[in-house]
Amino acid sequence: MRILALVALGATSVSAAAKGFDDFKLAGAIPADAFLAVHTRGHEGQAFIDKQMERVWAELEKARLDRDIKRVFKNLSQQNAPPVAEGEEDPFEAQWQQVVDLASGVEWGGLTEREYAMGMKLSFPSLEFVVMMRPAADKVESNFEGLSGIAKHLVSLDPASFELSTEGEGSQTIHRISPTQAPLPVVFTLARIDDTIVLGFGTAMVEQAMALLRGEEGESLASTERFQAAFKDLPPPTDAAFYFDVARFFDAVRGMAEQVVQMRGRLPAEDDPTYQTEVATRALPGKIIDALDIYDYMASTATTDGMRTTADEITVLRDGAADKPLYRILYANGPVEQPLRFIPVDAGDVAAGAGLDLRAAYDEIVKFIDEEVPDGKQMTAMLASSKEMIGFDIREEILGWIKGQYVTFSTPGPTAYSPGEFVLMLSTRDAEKGGALVQFALDQLATNEQFAIEDATISGTEGFKSVKSPMLGMLGMKAPTIG
């Protein structure tokens, strides 16, 4: 379950030279051409979290969610199957029991107990990935056999559509599943390499990873100068590490886009009426990619000790990023000044950020459509005249007054059984326009009999309104307040 909590972060060793990666035994098995790597590992500092997750698993088992899942699948199967005659056994029941028996052979919560690693790369025409897991040493064989049984059973359900091949045995077993009718090579891989269970999609990356696990020749991502430089200024990871080579990703996307454009064939003659439109259409994917391509790489590390997890991250921009549209949208606002001045001492889940410049986003999108999209000038002309159709100016009256900087926090309820409170504060360019929009929204709610709008009493300020509704009361929620 650690992998669920950390939302995919991986690990490595074989030739891992990056700072702090000595304890990540899978770090050296992510191939060097991966653009994404995620690593996690278990250690004594996570004992408290592990104990709580055991309680969660126990409660989930008590809830018998499998019965609800079975009911959903049974209803779906009955929609496309003839009714079962009286006295005959429902074939779904037999198949479901097989699935349950096979699934019970896998200790799902312990697959990543010792370590987890995941890597991705782009290679035309698809995405490839590899996942590597190290369960407890005495659980590797049983978990792999359980997963193998599930894979074989799934193939047996439709042997005409899928082909299963097996190579090796024991601690060096590789299963490969391929669709028989796929127009391009598609391979799903399930393998055991010593104490590591491997899952993969694609024809190259998973093979590279398994070769590195076996100690064969090859370069790992963790041994590259670029990977090591990304983690140089971060604390060594204890729980997890994350690496996203954004520049490599966009370079790969750009290459794939160029190949797709080439598939359109030759350009029409210059005197052809469609020539200019075709030129603009072919250039459009590259223009979109260039507008978004502002990052070099991102990296983060995490360490847990008891009830505290500390995470550090770094994001590096590409040269010339400040000249790109996305930069002006994301970073034009600047930092929030004195972000903690409105936050009470008992607040939790505090966050503050520069946010997005929504007006800049509107301007950049309109400019891009006008200059780069075929027939874009017609689209922007319609957008410019939208005020007459909808009654308000999207840029000025909806987006323009919001500066984008934000502060959020929550406070606990008066008792353990009382709902807490959540607060979102947005900075404004024009408080008057913002107030007018808020009042318009409240007036619309007031026309609905399910809602009542009342003045809110807040010390030190005025003009706030509370929205009351029986529906919210039944859910135990307090009246939302806005102003």
pLDDT for the residue numbered 98: 81
Q: How far apart are the first and last CA of the chain?
A: 41
pLDDT for the residue numbered 416: 67
pLDDT for the residue numbered 476: 63
Per-residue pLDDT reduced to its tens digit, 361-378: 889 999 999 999 888 888
User: What token pair was written down for 15?
Assistant: 């030739």
pLDDT for the residue numbered 1: 34
User: What token pair was written down for 95?
Assistant: 């198949």
Q: Which amino acid is at 34?
A: A
Give the number of C-alpha atoms closer than 13 A to the C-alpha of residue 43, restricted to the C-beta side. Answer: 15
More confident residue, 2 or 456: 456
Per-residue pLDDT reduced to its tens digit, 190-226: 999 999 999 999 999 999 999 999 999 999 999 999 9
- Between CA 351 and CA 407 the distance in angstroms is 6
pLDDT for the residue numbered 475: 63
- Give the pLDDT band of residue 177 (cuts 50, 70, 90): very high
Per-residue pLDDT reduced to its tens digit, 99-148: 788 888 898 888 999 999 999 999 877 899 999 999 999 999 999 999 99
Per-residue pLDDT reduced to its tens digit, 404-438: 888 999 888 777 667 778 888 888 888 888 888 88
Q: Which amino acid is at 98?
A: Q
More confident residue, 330 or 441: 330
pLDDT for the residue numbered 313: 95
Give 83's contacts (C-beta < 8 A, 6+ positions apart). Answer: none
Q: Tell whether the model's pLDDT for residue 12 goes beyond 80.
A: no
Mean pLDDT for all residues in the chain: 85
Domain ranges of the chain: 2-242
- Give the pLDDT band of residue 81 (cuts 50, 70, 90): low
